Chain A
Amino acid sequence: MIYGTVLTPELQKLKGEIEAHAHGYGLDFFETIFEMIDYKQINEIASYGGFPTRYPHWRFGMDYDRLSKSYQFGLHKIYEMVINNDPCYAYLLNSNSMMDHKLVMAHVFAHCDFFKCNMHFFGSNRKMMDEMANHATKIRNYMDKHGIGVVEDFIDICLSIENLIDYYAINQEDAYKPIKSDEEGSKNKVYKIKSKQYMDKYINPEDFLKQQKERLDKKKEKSKKTPPEPVKDVLYFLQEQAPLETWQKDVLSIIREESYYFSPQGQTKIMNEGWASYWHSKIMTQKALRDSEVIDFADHHSGTVYMRPGSLNPYKLGLELFRDIEERWDKGQFGKDWDECDDYRVKKNWDKKLGVGKEKIFEVRRLYNDVTFIDTFLTPEFAEGFKLFTFDANKRTGQWEISSREFQKIKDKLLFSLTNFGQPFISVEDSNYKNRSELLLLHRYEGFDLKISEARRTMEGVYKIWKRPINVRTIIQGEKKILTYDGKEHTEENYD
C-alpha cells in the first residue's frame, strides 16, 4: 500500500466482479492493488512516471506544474495509472463516478495482462517499485554528501542522454561486452577452406587467400580500436570507460536502469493501449455495464478513442487494429490465398468461418511490439478505412500539409516514427579518436538532419562526462560533417 487507502466495500465488490470477468475472458495478470486517490495525488504520481517514490529532481516538478495547470483549466484529466510491477499497482481518481471506476478497472486488468504476458516485458524488473525507492535513497544520500546542485547538474547531463541505450538489446548486459583477449590467438590464422592437399590450390586459390588475409588484417586493425564494434548502449560505455567518480558512475547506472525499465512501455504504446481499450469495451458492454450507465460509458469511451482530426490516437489505432485482426482471423482472411487474391468482391465476402480470431489476438499480444505489430498487421484496407495519411512540412508556406495517402508511404513513415521511438541512432564509434582519446559518436543517418543546436548542447554535457573533446559524425544538408566540441568551442569540419 502506498497511500494506504482502502477501497470502499462497494468498490471492493466491484473489483472482484470485474476481475472475475477478466479471468473469464482468459486474461492473465499479476495481483492488482487499487488505490483511491485525489487529483493532486494522481498528478503527483503521474509526474513521477507512476511511482510514488523517485529521486528528487526539478523535472518532475515541471511535469507536475504542467499537469496540475492543465487539470485546473479543465484541459485534461488522468483517469487511470497503472504500474508494471508485481503486484501491479493502479490508481483510481476519487472524483470519478462508479461507472468510470468500473471502466478503469477493466482497462487496468488488461494492461496488467499485457505487462505480464508480452515478451518484451519479460526482462523488466517486477520489483521496480522497491528499486525506484532504493534509487531515490541512494541519490538523496549523494546529495547530502556532495551537494544538491552538484548531483542535480550531473543528473541533468545523464538525463539528456538517457535515450542513448540499445532499445532492442534482448539482454541489457549483452549490449556492450569488452573483447576477450584470449580469443584472439585462434583467429589470427588466415582462413582456408578444408581440402585434400592436391585440390588445395584449386579450392583455395591465391586470390582467395589474399582476400582472406586482407580481411584478417582489417579485423586486426579493428580490434585495436575501442570499441571494436560500434556500441549502441552509449550510457553503458560511458559508465564503464569514462573517468567518473564512483557516485557519478552509480548515478549514471541508475538513470540507465530506469531508462531500460521504461523502454518496453514505450515500445508497445499502441498495442498496450489498444489491448486495454479492446478489453474495457468488451468487458463493459458484454458483462459489467448496467442500463443506467450506458450513456456515461458511451461518453467516456468515445472520449478515450476520439481522434482529433489531424492527430493519431494510439488507443484508437491499437483498438481498431486488434479488432481488425480478430475479424480477419475469424474469417480466415490471411495466408497465401488471401494475399494472392485480387478480386475485391471475393475479398469482401471472404469468410472461411475459422473462428481463430481470439486465439490470434492473444498470440499477437504475447509476441509483438509496436514496430512488428504495424509492420505485420497494417493493411491497405485498414489504412484506407482509418483515413491514414502522411504529412510533411511545406517549406514555402510553412504549413504542415497532407503529403500522401499511399499505403507504402504511410507505413514507412509510421514505422520510422516508431523505430527507436523516432529518435536518431547514436553509437560510440571510437574512444581514442585521432589517437588523442577523444570520443567519436556516430549518427546513423536515416535521411534527416539532427537538430544541431540541441545536439551541440548535448555534446557539452557529454564532455563533462568524458572530459576530452567530443565528436559526432553526421550529415548536415547533404554534407558529411564531424561536429566537435573541445570544452570551449564548437567547430565542424567536412570529411569523406
Chain B
Amino acid sequence: MVSRIERDHARFRDIVKGKIKQNLKDYISRGEMIGRIGKQYVSIPVPRIDLPRFRYGLPETGGVSSGDGEVGTPLGPAYDPEEGGQGDAGNQPGEHELEIDISFEELAKMLGEELELPRIEPKGSSRIEALKRVYRGVHLIGPKSLVHFKRTYKEALKRQLVAGEYDPDDPIIIPIKKDFRYRGWKDIIQPQYNALIVYMMDVSGSMGDEQKEIVRTESFWIDTWLRSQYKNLETRYIIHDASARMVDKDTFFRTKESGGTLISSAYKLCNILIDREFSPEEWNIYPFHFSDGDNWSSEDTKICIEILKNHLIPKSNLFCYGQVVSRYGSGQFIKDLKENFKEEEKLILSTIESKDSIIQSIKDFLGKGK
C-alpha cells in the first residue's frame, strides 16, 4: 500500500519539479542549477515554495534568548543576503532555499522534453556483451564475507529449538559451523552499450573564465543526456594550447595556459586514445571540442581536417565542435570546417555566442539522435 504521506510527498516533488522544468532554460543558461553532484543525484537549490502570510519581517522584531555576552555582542547575520537588508526591496520569495534531489535520469528526461531531444540510436547491434554478477540464492558453503546472517541465525534458532536448548527468557543463539549459510551469485551475460565522451578544450590565452564556464555548463548537460542513453559511460578530458595532454576533470575546467593554439595536437591525442583504449566496434564515441577557433596557422588546420576525415569522424558517432565567442571575437576554424565538410552528417558545428546560446548549442549537438 502506498502510504498517504508518500502521495503527498510525491505531489510536493511534482510541484517542485514542475518549477524546475518551468525554469529549466533559465537554469541552463545561468549555469547555477548545479548544486552538489552526487553519483546518482544532483541537488538542485530551488526557491522554497511557501504559503504567504501576514507577518512581520523578521529582522524587525528581534527576540529573546539566553546566554553569555555583553550588550552589543554580535550573534550572527540577521539579514538574508538575498534580501539585501531592505525590508521592502526583495519582492521575490527567495528566502529559504530548498534543496531537492533529482536523479540524473529525471533531469535528463526534463532536458529531453524541454529541448525535444530524440533518443539516441546506438550504433551496431547488441554484440557487445557484458558480465553482470547478481547475488541470488543461498548456499551451504562460501567465503566468510558472504555469510547470510539472518539465515544463519534462523538455522541456529531452529536447531536450538529442536534440541530444546532455547530458553525464551534468556534468548542466546549461537550458530555452529553447520548453521552457516552463504549468499551465492550467478554471472549473467547482458548486451550492453558503451559510450565514450572525449571533451577537448582549447585553453590558450584567449579562452577566458566566462568561456570556460560556458563549456562547463554545456558539458554537464551533455553528460547528463548521454548518461541517460548509455548505461556505461566513460569520459576523458583533453586540454590543449600548442600541445595537448590528458587531464582529469578538475584540471580540465580550471587550467589556464597562455600559449598559442595548435588544434591538431588535441585531435592527434584523441585519435591515439581511441585507438589504444576504445575500439569503435565496442564503443559509441562522442568527441566534443570547444575552442575560440583561433588556430595558429592554416597549415595546422589542414592537418586537423585530415585527421577528422580519415580517423576521428569515421570512428565516432558524432563529432561536435563548439566555437565559443571570446572577447577577441570568433576565429576562422569553424568556417574552414564548414567548407571542407559540407556533406558530412556526423560533424556538427555550433557557435556559442554567450550563455544564452548554450541551449541552442545543446540542441544542435544532440538533436540528431545519433
Contact = CB atoms under 8 A, between A and B. Distances in A.
Contact of A312 (B10, B11, B49, B65): B65
A399 interface: yes
B91 interface: yes
Contacts of B69: 389, 402
Interface in B76-112: 76-79, 85, 87-88, 90-93, 100
Interface string A60-73: 11101100000000
A388 B7 CA distance: 44
Contacts, number: 189
A410 B64 contact: yes
Given A402-B70, A443-B54, A389 B64 contact: yes
B66 A449 contact: no
Contacts of B77: 398-400
Contact of A56 (B11, B58, B93, B100): B11
17 contacts: A44-B3, A47-B8, A64-B12, A65-B13, A159-B51, A160-B52, A310-B75, A390-B63, A399-B75, A400-B62, A402-B71, A414-B64, A423-B55, A451-B57, A453-B90, A454-B53, A476-B88
A202 to B, nearest CB: 52
A402 B100 CA distance: 35
B143 interface: no
Given A64-B9, A413-B64, A457-B93, A163 B72 contact: no
Contacts of B91: 453, 456
A391 B66 contact: no
Given A58-B15, A60-B8, A395-B85, A387 B75 contact: no
A163 B61 CA distance: 18
B62 A392 contact: yes
Interface residues of A, number: 69
Contacts of A451: 55-58, 87
Contacts of A58: 8, 11-12, 15
A391 B55 contact: no
Contacts of B70: 402
A187 interface: no
The interface residues of chain A, by DSSP majority, are classed as: mixed
A403 B62 contact: yes
Interface residues of B, number: 49
B324 to A, nearest CB: 38
B76 A310 contact: yes
Interface in B298-318: none
B40 interface: no
B136 to A, nearest CB: 27
B73 interface: yes
A454 B3 contact: no
Nearest to A443: B54
Given A47-B8, A405-B71, 16 more contacts: A56-B11, A57-B11, A59-B8, A59-B12, A61-B10, A64-B12, A65-B13, A311-B65, A390-B63, A393-B79, A402-B71, A403-B71, A417-B63, A448-B60, A454-B54, A455-B54
Nearest to B10: A61
Given A44-B5, A422-B61, A458 B66 contact: no
A480 B114 CA distance: 48
Nearest to A45: B5
B205 interface: no
A404 B71 contact: yes
Contacts of A108: none
Considering residues A414, A448, A453, which has the most beta carbons from chain B within 10 angstroms of its beta carbon? A453
Contact of B66 (A48, A387, A395): A387
Contact of B63 (A156, A391, A426): A391
Interface in A439-462: 443, 448-458, 461
Contacts of A262: none
B53 A390 contact: no
A208 interface: no
Cβ-closest 6 pairs across A and B: A61-B12, A457-B52, A61-B8, A393-B78, A392-B62, A61-B9
A347 to B, nearest CB: 22
B171 interface: no
Nearest to A157: B51
A434 B91 CA distance: 28
B3 A156 contact: no
A487 interface: no
Nearest to B90: A453
